[in-house]
Amino acid sequence: MSPIIEIRGLSVVFDGFRAIDGIDLTVEEGELRFLIGPNGAGKTTLVDVITGLTRPTTGEVVFDGRSLAGLREHSIVRLGVGRTFQTSVVFEELTVLENLDLAASFRRPLWSLTRRRRGISEAVADALETTGLRELADRPAGVLSHGQRQWLEIGMLLTQSPKLLLLDEPVAGMSKDERERTGELLTSVADDHTVIVIEHDMEFLRRYASQVTVLHEGKVLIEGSVDQVRDDPRVQEVYLGRKRGDAVSTGS
Amino acid sequence: MNLTRLKGPGLFAAVAVLALVVAPLVLEPFRLGLLAKYLCFAIVALGIGLAWGQGGMLVLGQGVFFGLGGYAMGMHLKLVDAQGDLPDFMIWSGVEQLPALWKPFANPVFALAMVVLGPMLIAAVLGLLVFRQRVRGAYFAILTQALAAAFVILLVGRQGLTGGTNGLTNFFDLFGQDLAADSTQRGLYFVVAIVTGLLYLGARQLVGSRFGRLLVAIRDGEDRVRFLGYDPARVKTVVFAISAGMAGLAGALFVPVVGIISPALLGVVPSLELVVAVAVGGRFALAGAILGAVVMGYAKTSFSEQFADGWLYLQGELFILVMTLAPKGILGLAASARDALARRPRRPTAPKPPPTDDASGRRVMEEVG
Amino acid sequence: MEAFLNQLPIGLSIGAVLLLIALGLTFTFGQMGVINMAHGEFIMAGAYTAYLLQDLTGRMAVIVALPVAFLVAGLMGLILERAAIRHFYGRPLDTLLLTWGVSLVLQQLARDLFGAPNVQVQAPTWLQGGIASLPYNRLFIFGLAVATVIGIWAYMNRTGAGRRMQAVMQNRQLAAVSGINTARVDQRTFFIGSGLAGVAGVALTLIGPVGPALGTYYIVDAFLVVVAGGLGQLRGAVIAAAGLGLLNSYAEFWSDASLAKVIVFAAIIAFLQFRPQGLFVLRSRALT
Amino acid sequence: MRKTAWCSVVAVAALAATLTACGGEAPANKDAAAASGGDGDIKVGILHSLSGTMAISEVTVRDAELLAIEEINAAGGVLGKKLVPVVEDGASDWPTFAEKATKLIRQDKVATTFGGWTSASRKAMLPVFERSKALLWYPVQYEGLESSPYIFYTGATTNQQIIPGLDYLKEQGKKKIFLVGSDYVFPRTANKIIKAYAAANDMEILGEEYTPLGHTEYSTLTNKVLQAKPDAVFNTLNGDSNVAFFKQLNSAGVTAEKMPVLSVSVAEEEVKGIGVDNIAGHPVAWNYYQTTENAANEKFVAAFKAKYGADKVTSDPMEAGYNAVYLWAEAVKKAGSVEVEAVRKAAGGIALDRPEGLVTIDGESQHMYKTARIGVIQPDGLIKEVWNSGEPIKPDPYLKGYPWASGLATG
């Protein structure tokens, strides 16, 4: 196996605040990697840097053997990096089908988009199937529930056959049933994709994660299997302990 | 926003018959000329509807492109009338030799090409510059407005080249036809009406295509679109250029119809008035843009014939009312009325007005991780 | 050379005028995303306030009118905010068109109330004359601009209300969940922003026409200052106004007034290539 | 959903209310239209900007024209028929002038039209009147170089205003002149004439500056003027720019004694807005002032004040508009018909005593013989005549009678 993504010496400074402070991280092709950490650990910032939304202060990201430095967001997507957002952003005015179709058409030249869509492409049909949104295909995405939106977003990514998927808290705010569905979706997606998941939910983590990286205050705290990580005293301290500490400090 | 699509080709055909058969029979030449003028504005409005209603780019400087098209046409007509001499205004502006900029416009093919290509080129360059830097929303609107202001100053200041505040007027001949003749004006009306119809169909085709979906997606979530691998700057530039091209074409048609092109038509206020018209008609549907331009044009003519002073009040008030109570304009009202009459649950034909620009960013991602 | 040197204070005084007319906008635009096209008419209201006060105060009207115009224009802004704009948050482009409608109505109203011709506001006699190329009334406007900036700065950094305003500007949601009444802050901001327009209007009576069209002469320039300075940024507005004032004064000195305007516009487009969000940006993670 | 529908109803109702209210405001024209139904009436068009930036100036001209129509009707009308004005708004927008002119000619079928102020509005209307062979009476001083067979020009052409202004400056010993103007046709043409005049008369032009219409920032320009140290400034600024210019010039310490600013677009109307403080003592060039002494003017000023208010002032363009109606009526009487060609033929040579003095129509150029008058603005806001040309000057729109101007109008 070869690394699909390598992050070397990455730092991000916002107006003096070090959101990321020298992270090195390697993810192998085909891996399902979970990124966890308390609030402010720099998880989303890391994803932002990989996808070009935030420019690193130092360090670089190498994807599939190629540095991403200076590339704009859409160029990075075209290299094969797809992401979802914490608060899902689907296009509410467009139907579910149109959302997926739009995602699937991203490699077409602009002029060819001016033709009307005829039929449903294979990739879109597959995505409808995988996400279970076939029934809702012709409804505007605005009427979807929160969970359905997340699935739609993941479905949109799938139509683009990315080499790497970055999912930012896919189950945040979901009901128990929705989490279950999302978990299944994640498992099936991870079969043939490299996936990095940012997640808070420990229960979800335990059920679906294998490799976990823990971030803390912009640094990598530990990397290992779920059990290793869970049993690590440092993780318990920063992850659980700090929460207790927070409660104390706000009380004082 | 699918109001027109629901009614489909039938409604379009009815409007076409009304415009091409009934109007020329019923209206006297003066009124028909006015209608032709409104339709010229409707073409600009169509471009605004595309850029603003569909693409979320509030263009407050369409007068610039209208002017570029109009002046291209006006320059050609002036050169034809001058028959090898200098155009009249250059003589009294003290210009002794035809400026180099004017020379190619003697060629009708070049002039007609410039009518559309000139505005598109300028819009494309400007669009690339600003959209690549992600200047959008209010910033973009203000920049286009300032562009209109600067353009007018430039036009006025180069009197020998452009006719200054007077603009270009007093045309006699349009491709061998006598411009003052009623038959020419009637023919022009048909040309304008048919061009409007064709552009509408073209714009609808665009909106209905994947490109149109992409445009709406960019309007509602430009950054999200980026993460689908599209470059919104390119798409927006294309649409901005198309709307500029439409405005240019409208300007070129306006010149023989009305017989004048002058900076007074291109400034901040006329550009804004057209945006108003689009909002009044219903900005989320292309038909609304056309309807708005014709209705507002008609209202301006008839009300200013009746009571000049009140026109500003009426226009201002109308606008406040439309924005506060009927943001979807006349078409939106028509849809609500139809639904109310039908006494059935409203179908999601006209969804709530989407956030039109970067404000929607506020509801999105905050870092928690 | 002397003329060249003279342009420096002239440029700064033009900058002071730009700053006064744009300062209020910076905050209403910066905090609430409201593009208030009626801002020009609030300036006009300030000028007419000075005109009306003349009957009572004679030549001192310009001084007396400063606080009164602040209140008058501020109240007009407050009414506008309460009656219409608050329904429009999150739709800034719609506010642009709405307030344009308001500005048309206000212009016509002024025409009906005060007549179409310009009216005269007499300057205090002690503002006649000047030092070298700089008339006293320009110095007065300059001083007024400086005082206003200091006042705003003090308000924003030294009072609770000002700090709340900054909080809302930086992160509306966070401010709201921290218990700040954002609606009240919005009202206050709009009141102050509009009031500043009134103050600017009083100052403008010293150097320009006072008539129904007054606002239209300044509105585009005011927005350009805001765009160049960055939203809600006091220092951005100050630097942008000074920069544009100087650019304007030297461009006009070397070419002519028409070309100067075009040059300023081109400069702003070029500038936005480097700093698309203006001079100073509030960093935010917001994304559309 | 329901809320939207409700809102729609409110919106429609509110709009309807506005329209009704507005409809109520508009009786003047409707009455006029109704009144013109009878055979005994002659419809005449009045086309000025009643809205927009030019409304300030043009509304007063409309008022003067309406006054003249009223007076003529009171005296029995023309050819035994009453004049019925059809008033249209040019909206400070040149294409609108063309459109409304077409409407007046084709739909209202007016006998003649009085209208326009800016050169741009006249140029826009010119093809309409020429091609419909209809008559326009244009009441404002302008830049010359035009002589349409279907326009009568009742304001001054350049040799009745600009050149006398220069003669006056020359007489006063002002040899170094600075030119300041708004950026449009009249100032640019006027300044070309001034430069040619200066070259022929041993005067020096130290600078020539234009500012956009509506410009209000004059500190840089003031600096340029002060650096050039001219003897006098020739000012062709228009409208609100004059206010800013004079305020800023005055506060920079420029006084009429040190450096007189001769204006050709500042009349009694504008003085109030500029502020007498700022402009008193500066000269202006026109053909008429409210203070011009003769019986016709006394009557005009009194009638105008009686009709529109004692605080109203009269000015040159108003008087020229007022004259236009009388001159046309006189031509109609002489022709015995309102038919355009007959009126044109009859008009030449008509001479009337008007508030500005004797006015004679020059049949060839369709301009007027007018007396040039230089006035100085007084502390009370009125203008006092200090110089005049002694007799009416023959209009010469192409300056053919001035050898030094030979290069200007050829092309």
**pLDDT over 70 at D317, yes or no:** yes
Residue D398 lies in a domain: yes
Contact B369 A41 (CB under 8 A): yes
Q: Which residue of C has its CA nearest to D276?
A: C120
How do residues A122-149 score in pLDDT, each as one tens digit?
999 999 998 889 999 999 999 998 889 9
Residue in D227, D311, D309 with CA at minimum distance from that of residue D268: D311
Reported confidence tier of residue A151, pLDDT bands at 50, 70, 90: very high
Subunits that touch chain B (at least 3 Cβ pairs < 8 angstroms)?
A, C, D
What secondary structure letter does DSSP report for D409? S
Residue in B271, B279, B278, B293 with CA at minimum distance from that of residue B61: B271
Contact C108 B316 (CB under 8 A): yes
C278 vs B6 pLDDT, higher one = C278
Q: Map residue C282 onto helix, strand or coil.
A: coil
Contact D243 C118 (CB under 8 A): yes
- Measure A116 CA to nearest chain B CA, in Å: 4
What secondary structure letter does DSSP report for B51? I
Residue of C13, C213, C261 lying closest to D53 (CB–CB): C213
Q: Give pairs for D378-383: CB < 8 Å, separation 24+.
A: D378/D280, D379/D276, D379/D280, D380/D276, D381/D268, D381/D271, D381/D272, D381/D276, D381/D313, D382/D268, D382/D271, D382/D289, D382/D290, D382/D291, D382/D313, D383/D267, D383/D268, D383/D271, D383/D284, D383/D286, D383/D289, D383/D290, D383/D291
Chain B neighbors of D126, CB-CB under 8 A: 169-170
**pLDDT over 60 at D10, yes or no:** no
* Range of the structural domain that residue B104 is part of: 12-267
Q: Bridge-partner residues for D236, per DSSP?
A: D181
The amino acid at residue B295 is V
Q: Which residue of A has its CA nearest to C286?
A: A53
Contact B223 C287 (CB under 8 A): yes
Residue D31, pLDDT score: 39
Q: Bridge-partner residues for A166, per DSSP?
A: A83, A196
Tell me what ipTM this predicted complex has.
0.86
Average pLDDT across chain D, whole number: 88
Residue D243 lies in a domain: yes
Chain C neighbors of D272, CB-CB under 8 A: 117-120
* Range of the structural domain that residue D226 is part of: 159-287+373-405
Contact D215 C257 (CB under 8 A): yes
Residue B103 lies in a domain: yes
What is the rounded CA–CA span in Å between residue B41 and residue D16? 25
Assess contact for B144 and B59: CB atoms under 8 A: yes
Pairs of CB atoms within 8 A across B/C: 153
What secondary structure letter does DSSP report for C235? H
How do residues B226-240 score in pLDDT, each as one tens digit?
999 999 999 999 999
Chains D and A touch (3+ CB pairs under 8 A): no
Residue B361, pLDDT score: 34
Contact C265 B146 (CB under 8 A): yes
How do residues D162-191 score in pLDDT, each as one tens digit?
999 999 999 999 999 999 998 888 898 899
Pair of tokens at residue A93: 């005015």
- Give yes or no for D382 touching B (CB within 8 A): no
- Give yes or no for A53 touching C (CB within 8 A): yes
What is the rounded CA–CA span in Å between residue A142 and residue D186? 59
Those residues whose C-beta lies under 8 Å from the C-beta of residue C126, and which sit 6 or more positions away, are C136
How do residues A189-247 score in pLDDT, each as one tens digit?
888 899 999 987 778 888 888 889 998 888 898 898 888 888 888 887 876 655 444 43
pLDDT more than 70, % of chain B: 89
Q: Which residue of D has its CA nearest to B338?
A: D5
- Per mean pLDDT, which range of B311-320, C233-242, D298-307 is the poorest? B311-320
How do residues D41-55 score in pLDDT, each as one tens digit?
999 999 998 877 787
How do residues C263-286 score in pLDDT, each as one tens digit?
988 888 888 777 777 766 554 444
Residue B307, pLDDT score: 67
**Count: domains in chain B:** 1
Assess contact for D284 and D374: CB atoms under 8 A: yes
Residue of D8, D212, D411 lying closest to B336 (CB–CB): D8
What is the rounded CA–CA span in Å between residue D101 and residue D136? 9
- Give yes or no for A38 touching B (CB within 8 A): no
The amino acid at residue D53 is T
Residue D253, pLDDT score: 86
Chain B neighbors of C100, CB-CB under 8 A: 272, 276, 316, 319
Chains C and A touch (3+ CB pairs under 8 A): yes
Question: What is the reported pTM?
Answer: 0.88
The yes or no reply on domain C2-116+129-274 and CATH 3.40.50 is: no
Residue D252 lies in a domain: yes
Residue of C7, C122, C208 lying closest to D220 (CB–CB): C7
What is the rounded CA–CA span in Å between residue B74 and residue B89? 12
- Measure B264 CA to nearest chain D CA, in Å: 6
- What radius of gyration do chain D's Cα atoms show? 22
Residue B82 lies in a domain: yes
Residue D1 lies in a domain: no
Chain B neighbors of A94, CB-CB under 8 A: 213, 216-217
Chain C neighbors of B156, CB-CB under 8 A: 258
The amino acid at residue D223 is N
- What radius of gyration do chain A's Cα atoms show? 19
Residue D336: CB atoms within 10 Å: 11
How do residues B68-109 score in pLDDT, each as one tens digit?
999 999 999 999 998 888 888 887 777 888 899 999 999 999
Angle at the Cα of C124 from the Cα atoms of C121 and C129, rounded to 5 degrees? 110
Residue D272 lies in a domain: yes
H or E stretch including D3?
Answer: helix D2-25
Reported confidence tier of residue B354, pLDDT bands at 50, 70, 90: very low
Pair of tokens at residue C280: 């100073």
Pair of tokens at residue B57: 């780019």
Chain B neighbors of A169, CB-CB under 8 A: 368-369
Q: Which of 327-356 (B) contact D at CB < 8 A?
A: 332-333, 336-337, 339-340, 345-346
Assess contact for B255 and B159: CB atoms under 8 A: no
Contact C287 A15 (CB under 8 A): no
Residue B242, pLDDT score: 97
Q: Map residue D235 onto helix, strand or coil.
A: strand
pLDDT more than 90, % of chain B: 46
Mutate: best of D92, D191, D208, D219, partner C, most C CBs <10 A: D219
- Measure B204 CA to nearest chain A CA, in Å: 11
Assess contact for C237 and C217: CB atoms under 8 A: no
Distances (CA, A) of B349 to B214, B221, D5, D102, D321: 19, 21, 14, 44, 58
Q: Which residue of D has its CA nearest to B343?
A: D2
Q: Map residue D32 onto helix, strand or coil.
A: helix
- Give yes or no for B364 touching A (CB within 8 A): yes
Angle at the Cα of D72 from the Cα atoms of D71 and D76, rounded to 5 degrees? 115
Chain D neighbors of C222, CB-CB under 8 A: none
Contact B264 D12 (CB under 8 A): no
Angle at the Cα of B228 from the Cα atoms of B223 and B234, rounded to 5 degrees? 65
Assess contact for C249 and C233: CB atoms under 8 A: no
Residue of B321, B337, B339 lying closest to D14 (CB–CB): B321
For A3-251, CATH gives 3.40.50.300
Residue B304 lies in a domain: no
Task: Find the CATH number of the domain harbouring D206.
Answer: 3.40.50.2300
Subunits that touch chain A (at least 3 Cβ pairs < 8 angstroms)?
B, C
Those residues whose C-beta lies under 8 Å from the C-beta of residue A171, and which sit 6 or more positions away, are A150, A178, A179, A182, A183, A199, A201, A204
**pLDDT over 70 at C30, yes or no:** yes
- Give yes or no for C258 touching B (CB within 8 A): yes
Q: How far is CA A46 from the centre of its chain?
A: 10
Reported confidence tier of residue B327, pLDDT bands at 50, 70, 90: confident
Burial per residue of D91-120, b for 16 or more beta-carbon CB atoms within 10 angstroms, e otherwise: bbbbbbbbbbbbbbbbebebbbbbbbbbbb
Pair of tokens at residue D400: 């053919």
Backbone angles phi, psi at A59, to 5 degrees: 85, 175
Assess contact for B233 and B128: CB atoms under 8 A: yes
Helix axis angle for C136-158 and D240-251, nearest 10°, is 100
Average pLDDT across chain C, whole number: 87
Residue D312 lies in a domain: no
Q: Which residue of B has its CA nearest to D133?
A: B180
Residue D323: CB atoms within 10 Å: 27
- Give yes or no for A118 touching B (CB within 8 A): no
Pairing between strand D136-138 and D151-153?
Answer: parallel
Q: Which residue of C has its CA nearest to A17?
A: C283
Pair of tokens at residue C273: 């290539």
Burial per residue of C212-231, b for 16 or more beta-carbon CB atoms within 10 angstroms, e otherwise: bbbbbbbbbbbbbbbbbbbb
Those residues whose C-beta lies under 8 Å from the C-beta of residue B16, and which sit 6 or more positions away, are B197
What is the rounded CA–CA span in Å between residue B130 and residue B135? 5
**For B66, left (φ over 0), alpha (ψ -120 to 50), or beta?**
alpha
Assess contact for A226 and A203: CB atoms under 8 A: no
Residue D328 lies in a domain: no
Q: Which residue of A has its CA nearest to C282?
A: A15
- What radius of gyration do chain B's Cα atoms show? 21
Domain boundaries, chain A: 3-251
